[in-house]
Structure 1
Amino acid sequence: MIALNDIDVRSREIFRRLVETYLSTGEPVGSRTLSHDTGIAVSAATIRNVMADLTDLGLLHAPHVSAGRLPTELGLRLFVDGLMQVGDLSPEERRAIETESNETNSAETLLEAAASRLSGLTQTASLIVTQKSDSPMRQIEFVKTSPGQALVIMVFEDGRVENRIIDAPDDLPPSALIAAGNYLNARLRGRSLSETRTHIIDEVESNRAELDELTARLVRDGVARLSGDDNWTMVVRGRGHLLDETAQDIERVRMLLDDLEKKREVIELLTAARDGEGVKVFIGSENRLFSLSGSSVITAPYRDEKRQIVGVLGVIGPTRLNYARVVPIVDYTAEVLSRMLK
């Protein structure tokens, strides 16, 4: 892996200017173009030599023999991590991200509005992944639906009702369904599943719950499933921007749109970005899902009133994204959304 210290100051500046020019134009950048940059006080011949050295390092490549140079994924990563000058948001952009929050704004409405603003400001497709619900629960009930499956009916304190299908033992008697519901109601009523999940599973596994084997299995597997990957939902806005950005590469766009339809895989990608603080940038093949379509993903987690991470938002677009502008927009949108969810 190339580090900034492996490149001298002059080469760094030429590389930075080249990448910025490419991100602005989308076209290969030649030495003649850079020699007209007043910030680079060297000849076109010197610039060509530096570009050749950067190509040997794997930071640049030439799409054609006589063309200029483009940054590789490795080059873009070096630029984003060490050379990019992140811009500040304008007052107009900040106002566009912020919305009036009042008691009638549901979490769902806020998420959809945030996704639309994010897509509009960045001219990319926006993605928001959130937990289906982490509200305090009023009641939970298990109903046998078919061999090997049970329906879980969850009623929340705010009046919402959610139904989920979970796996259940084939020989599960009705009494076990009732016992499981009674056990969870005693521990969940007025509390959220995320608050109690670890305690419940520990209690069941240590046999402190005093449940029979089948009921304990239903409770343990049910709680794990209800708070797992299926507990996430996704909002997508601005798919049309993908067509606008890459109209000349229809096959790449088709692959990207196909990938976006793979809801589970997208959710797995974004929920993996929950770990750690701040904005994360995935460039090209660094993200498994969108690697074939040559796309970049920029994400940031957002939090609830308890400062717990409850979701991830982000944008997806070509690797030629204006990272310096998009990164602070994603970051500030996550900050504002966290504020509104309090």
Structure 2
Amino acid sequence: MMLDKRAQILLKTLIEQHIYDGQPVGSRTLSQSSGLDLSPASIRNTMKDLEDLGFITSPHTSAGRIPTQLGYRLFVDSLLTVKPLDDKAIRSLKDQMNIGDNKKIISNAADILSTLTHFAGVVLIPKAKKTTFKHLEFIGLSEKKILVIIVTNDGNVQNRIVMTEKHYTHDDLVEATNYFNHNFSGNTFAKVKDTLVDELSKMHADMIKLMTAAIEVGNDVISPESESIVITGQNNLIQSEELAKNISSLRKIFEIFEKRTALMKLLDQSQLGEGIQIFIGNESGYSSLDECSLITSPYETDGEIVGTLGVIGPTRMAYERVIPIVDITAKLLSNALSQH
């Protein structure tokens, strides 16, 4: 929706002032801060027009105005002046990011987001690629203890010890090893499990137990259970003046953090967009976040988008500061993961 230059300046000034102090903004403040040479009557008329268009609203207890979700949307889309981080800050973030393995790097990214913004930082962890096993071997350690060695297609080697009810001879273990590798090498253990169900009737009982044990430890190695999302700084939202006023709303926000499914879906959807995505209030599609804004950005590994990170805070946030933090954190995370 097009606004004339004067209305744009007044709306921008009003939103920036409200973000700064959280108070409704009156005509006198706008006259002093906007830099426009307008009479109080002209400012009031423009404010009335902006209110009629749905960009601002007047709380019952004040003569001043505050921005609506529609006002914030126009602000971030057309009026916002972003404040990029300086080189020193970026170098500091890069040093913090490049610590530990990939799991630690992702955790560091979430910590950076929450620490710098004082809101909640979230990172959607990359979906694990389907890993297959290349080679499996059974080695007897003692009468009822067997070492299972699993080599995956990406060169990862894992060892697991299986306790058995009976003693398997060396020949038994060689037979099982050869059978497994000949029939199933190159498959995921999930597929092996499905296929093996049809084969079990052809094996004797002792071999069935050994094959079943192999599948169980294989699933543990190749498909370990792990969190799909990292969330840090949730308690920062308790300190938010806007959110703390409404305990019921705050409880709903924490429920979405606890259940995670809806948040993961939202982050997954935002991954389809290019660059920074901003969801203000009910734009997220989840009533639990009606009083929040979510700023996200996808991140990459070797040029391929693998996940999303972002910040959740109140709609009254310093967008000009938070947006570049999300943007540079995504870029630094991409670089760090690509180098590991």
* TM superposition score normalised by structure 1: 0.72
Query: Structure 2 vs 1, CA of residues 160 and 337 (structure 1 numbering), >3 Å: closer, same or farther?
Result: farther
Please list, as runs of the form range in 1=range in 2, the aligned pairs for 1:237-316 lying within 5 A after superposition.
237-246=232-241, 247-291=244-288, 293-305=290-302, 307-316=303-312
Query: 1:88 Cα shift?
Result: 1.2
Which of 57, 60, 63 matches 1:67?
63
Alignment gaps of 5+ in structure 1: 142-152, 162-178, 194-199, 201-210, 216-229
Q: 2: CA distance between counterparts of 1:82 and 1:98?
A: 30
Q: Is the 8 A contact 1:118 1:329 kept in 2?
A: yes
Residue-by-residue CA offset, 1:222-277 (whole Å, 9 max, x unaligned): xxxxxxxx997010000111001133332221111111112111110100011122
Would the alpha carbon gap of residues 38 and 106 (structure 1) be closer, same or farther in structure 2, given more than 3 Å must change?
Answer: same
CA contact (8 A) 1:138 1:157 kept: no
1:311 alignment partner, SS class: strand
The offset of 1:36, in angstroms, is 1.3
CA distance, structure 1, for counterparts of residue 180 and residue 76 of structure 2 = 51
Per the alignment, residue 9 of structure 2 pairs with 13
* 1:178-189 pair list within 5 angstroms: 185-186=185-186
The 2-side partners of 1:120 and 1:184 are apart by 48
Question: How far off is 1:290 after superposition?
Answer: 4.9
Q: 2:97 touches 2:333 (CA, 8 Å); kept in 1? A: no
Q: Which structure is larger by alpha-carbon Rg, 1 or 2?
A: 2
Paired position in structure 2 for 1:116? 111
1:100-115 correspondence to structure 2 within 5 Å: 105-115=100-110
Count of matched residue pairs: 279
Q: Which residue identity is paired with 1:316?
A: I
Residue aligned with 1:114, SS: helix
SS of corresponding position for 1:98:
helix
Residue pair 2:133, 2:187 contacting (<8 A) in 1 also:
no
Q: What's the CA shift for 1:42?
A: 1.1
C-alpha RMSD of matched pairs (Å): 3.6
Q: 1:318 & 1:184 partners in 2: Cα distance?
A: 52
- CA shift, 1:27, in A, is 1.5
Q: Are the structure 2 counterparts of residues 33 and 253 from structure 1 closer, same or farther at C-alpha, using a change threshold of 3 Å? A: same
* Structure 2 unmatched runs, 5+: 137-149, 160-178, 200-224
Contact 2:127 2:306 in 1 (8 A): no
Q: For residues 79-102 of structure 1, what are the alpha-carbon distances to aligned partners after superposition, in whole Å with 9 as ceiling and x for unaligned? A: 111111111112343133212676
Residue 329 (structure 1) aligns with: 325
Q: C-alpha displacement at 1:182, in angstroms?
A: 7.7
Normalising by structure 2, we get a TM-score of 0.72
Distance 1:137 1:89 in 2: 43
Residue 334 of structure 2 corresponds to which residue in structure 1? 338
CA distance in 2 between counterparts of 1:131 and 1:15 reads 40
Closer, same or farther in 2 for the Cα pair 1:60/1:107, shift >3 Å? same
* Residues 126 and 238, structure 1, Cα contact 8 Å, conserved in 2: yes
